[in-house]
Chains A and B, each alone.
Chain A
Amino acid sequence: MGPDTLHSPMNNPMTPRDPLLLKPAQSLVGQVVNLRRVGNPPAEAGKTPPSAGDQPARRTSSCPTSSCPTSSCPTSSLRRHGSLAASIAAAFLALPAFAQIDLTGEWAPAYHEDAPERLPGPELGDYMGIPLNAAARLRADSYDADRISVVNEYQCRPHSSDYGMRGLGNLRVWREINPKNQEVVAFHTYMPAWGSERTIWMDNRPHPPDYAEHTFQGFSTGVWEGNMLTITTTHLKANYYRRNGVASSDKRTVTEHWTRHGDFLTVIVVENDPVMLTEPWVRSENWYLDPGQKLSSFQCEYQPEVPAPVGTVPHHLPGTNPFLTEVADWYGLPREATRGGAETMYPEFRKKMSKPAVEPPAHCERFCVCTTLVDCQLHGR
């Protein structure tokens, strides 16, 4: 058994390229968050948007012999060494061909975990699986989904780099090479959702001081640990962990571990947020290689959707949000479990949690076959 055997399309009964394979999610253009309470999905949802075409290659161009300054081009530098260079080249030809894990390419997300949360959007009051603290919970409880429709600033608020990996996550990865020494300077990523571009520096540069600018993508550096790329991201703007009001702070640090196994990519994301979380929050997401994937560009325009006086911010005062128990009752869950917190994430919690407050439905009624965006929208309820 070896990698070739495992991943060969000839030997696997199904491969990611099988026509029956999970369909890549359709990209949404201009769609705002939490579709369930802000109205129906836009008409173009579920249809493939006009493609912006492949982006131009971002890799720094290799050094052309004819135009490269003699002082900086490795090709010219080799030439200066004359016949020695030829000897070296011959020596390299005798060495085995080494390969490294290649993270670059087009990756389509598998929404096989928490699909209804990640595709159509989470239910209100669903904090399950999040080690949030009391302050974060109180803030989330104040959330009103109409906020997106009324407060323009929320409509085109980008996904931060950590949330983006969890949300609509079609992904392109490419690397930037320094032509002078052929070192990898950085990996770059692009995700169509909110047109998010990100840089992961690989050249050991330091993180900026704390007072430096924070952005939605943050400042990322990466190092290899064996076959695992470990990325540290700081300088993130406040954003959200879940699109139902569970907020993330700008004090968080995110660690990621990227590993590739055959045509599958797994990204482990560790959130350290001293403001919102009581312990590090570890999750992992999966992609499969999809070389034919075409990513869209992203347009988002502010558009008042619900008339309201200027300055209105829809919200619920503490103890007044009537929607917080819906998720527990719809799915037959203990209400305290939906409130989240670290204690609820460990197996022993099952022994102490209460029974559902209302009789659970006899059959699933919401998002029962939600696995791709199309499935979720066709069979939402």
Chain B
Amino acid sequence: MRTTPWSRLQPATEASASVRMCLQICLVMLLQAPAFAQPPGPPQPPRSPRAAAPVDLTGYWVSVVSEDWRWRMVTPLKGDFAGVPVNAAARKVGESWNPAQDEAAGEQCKSYGAPAIMRVPGRVHITWQDDSTLKLETDSGQQTRLLDFNGASKEIQAIPSWQGFSTANWERPPNGVEVPDNFPVFSTRTGTRGRSLEVVTTHLRPGYLRKNGVPYSAQTILNEYFDYHKESNGDEWFTVTTIVKDPVYLTGPYITSTDFKKERDGSKWDPTPCTAR
């Protein structure tokens, strides 16, 4: 890379090094000192997932189809597996795709299951069903996903379904310790504050990753990460990274990330039923 004169600029951080060290010493000593002045208070109940939410994902969001246009906005041609790490068994199933057969069997929603639904063009409406459950509804296919923050502690007896059973949590930093970004240790602590929604979905009814019959099996495990970002023009977005793991039909994780822009209201909400074609 060519360097420019600007790359030689040095920030004025070293001049205050000794002052910073003194401050750090004082702060560390304070942190280690017992708090004599205050009596211990009653133990605080843990905050609910809703109260602890680091970002607000509620509202109406539209998927802006800037990627995979010809595999999402129209039904791809039969036998088009491009981009999906399928194995021979999956290709065999895909080559036998028959939408009329799916319609006759009442399985028009096979391409609207949790592993595929976030790639379906449309809008999603996210609300808190209660303090520990996020509800994600789609207008395309009229699906409802429940993201259960208490799911990990529940004994799952769910019947396999298109949307499966989803356990959610606010993603923790790598070692599970929350640290303020500017915690005054010797170097600034950065990137430590988890703010992503992490979802794991199991108990899925077999379906299609794409509308043209690229299959996923009942053994599929779906990992998702919802990341919120706000842009310089004020637009709010979330991007969901979707990782599909299917030992039956995939040679490795199938990874996509889908971008949603927040809308003011639900005026463009357009419920439409599942279609097989």
B142 to chain A, nearest CB (A): 14
**B191: A residues at CB distance < 8 A:** 100-101, 103, 224, 226-229
Instruction: Give a binary string over B227-255; 1 marks a CB under 8 Å from any A CB, 0 the rest.
Output: 10101110101010101010100111111
Known A-B contacts A129-B67, A261-B241; A371 and B121 likewise in contact (beta carbons under 8 Å): no
Q: Which residue of B lies closest to A128 (CB)?
A: B69
Known A-B contacts A227-B194, A286-B257, A337-B73; A363 and B83 likewise in contact (beta carbons under 8 Å): no
Known A-B contacts A99-B174, A205-B6, A268-B229; A333 and B74 likewise in contact (beta carbons under 8 Å): yes
In the complex, the answer to whether B190 meets A1 with C-beta atoms within 8 Å is no
Label chain A's interface by main secondary structure.
loop
**A259: B residues at CB distance < 8 A:** 196, 225, 227, 241
List B57-85 residues whose CB lies under 8 Å from chain A: 62-70, 73-74, 76-85
**Given A92, A182, A215, A283, which contacts B66 in the complex, CB threshold below 8 Å?**
A283
**B74: A residues at CB distance < 8 A:** 332-334, 337, 350
> In this assembly, does A57 line the interface, its C-beta being within 8 Å of a C-beta of chain B?
no
**Given A1, A180, A229, which contacts B200 in the complex, CB threshold below 8 Å?**
A1
B91 to chain A, nearest CB (A): 7
> In this assembly, does A272 line the interface, its C-beta being within 8 Å of a C-beta of chain B?
yes
Known A-B contacts A199-B1, A268-B229; A99 and B173 likewise in contact (beta carbons under 8 Å): yes
Instruction: Give a binary string over A329-364; 1 marks a CB under 8 Å from any B CB, 0 the rest.
Output: 001111001000000111111100100000011111
**Given B84, B194, B251, B259, which contacts A282 in the complex, CB threshold below 8 Å?**
B259
List A206-247 residues whose CB lies under 8 Å from chain B: 206-208, 212-213, 215, 217, 219, 224-230
Chain B's interface size range is 35 or more
**B77: A residues at CB distance < 8 A:** 331-332, 360-365
Known A-B contacts A100-B192, A283-B66, A284-B257; A183 and B13 likewise in contact (beta carbons under 8 Å): yes
**B122: A residues at CB distance < 8 A:** 347
In the complex, the answer to whether A348 meets B11 with C-beta atoms within 8 Å is no
In the complex, the answer to whether B1 meets A217 with C-beta atoms within 8 Å is yes
Q: Which residue of A lies closest to B17 (CB)?
A: A181
Complex Cα gap A371–B84 (Å): 6
> In this assembly, does B21 line the interface, its C-beta being within 8 Å of a C-beta of chain A?
yes
A149 to chain B, nearest CB (A): 26
Q: Which residue of A lies closest to B174 (CB)?
A: A99
List B159-185 residues whose CB lies under 8 Å from chain A: 167, 169, 171-177, 179, 181, 183, 185
**A346: B residues at CB distance < 8 A:** 62, 64-65, 121
In the complex, the answer to whether A369 meets B167 with C-beta atoms within 8 Å is no
Chain A's interface size range is 35 or more
**B258: A residues at CB distance < 8 A:** 284
> In this assembly, does A138 line the interface, its C-beta being within 8 Å of a C-beta of chain B?
no
Of B27-35, B45-53, B102-110, B128-136, the one touching chain A: B27-35
B31, B167, B223: most-surrounded residue (chain A CB, <10 A): B223
In the complex, the answer to whether B195 meets A226 with C-beta atoms within 8 Å is yes
Complex Cα gap A102–B191 (Å): 8
**B157: A residues at CB distance < 8 A:** none
A35 to chain B, nearest CB (A): 16
**Given A3, A266, A283, A348, which contacts B241 in the complex, CB threshold below 8 Å?**
A266
A141 to chain B, nearest CB (A): 18
Of A15-23, A36-44, A306-314, the one touching chain B: A15-23
B190 to chain A, nearest CB (A): 4
Complex Cα gap A368–B77 (Å): 9
Complex Cα gap A198–B7 (Å): 12
In the complex, the answer to whether B25 meets A84 with C-beta atoms within 8 Å is yes
List A254-287 residues whose CB lies under 8 Å from chain B: 255, 257, 259, 261, 264, 266, 268, 270, 272, 280-286
Interface pairs (22), CB distance under 8 Å:
A1-B198, A22-B252, A77-B17, A97-B175, A98-B185, A99-B174, A101-B173, A129-B68, A131-B66, A181-B13, A181-B20, A268-B237, A268-B257, A268-B259, A283-B66, A347-B121, A348-B268, A349-B73, A350-B121, A364-B81, A368-B81, A369-B82
Q: Which residues of A contact B (CB under 8 A)?
A: 1-3, 6, 12-14, 16, 18, 20-22, 72, 74, 77, 84, 88, 91-92, 94-103, 110-116, 128-131, 178, 180-184, 196-199, 201, 203-208, 212-213, 215, 217, 219, 224-230, 255, 257, 259, 261, 264, 266, 268, 270, 272, 280-286, 288, 331-334, 337, 344-350, 353, 360-365, 367-371
Known A100-B190, A227-B191; further 20 A-B contacts with Cβ < 8 A = A3-B172, A12-B245, A95-B185, A96-B177, A98-B183, A100-B192, A110-B253, A113-B83, A115-B83, A203-B13, A205-B9, A205-B11, A207-B6, A226-B194, A228-B229, A268-B239, A268-B259, A345-B64, A345-B66, A364-B76
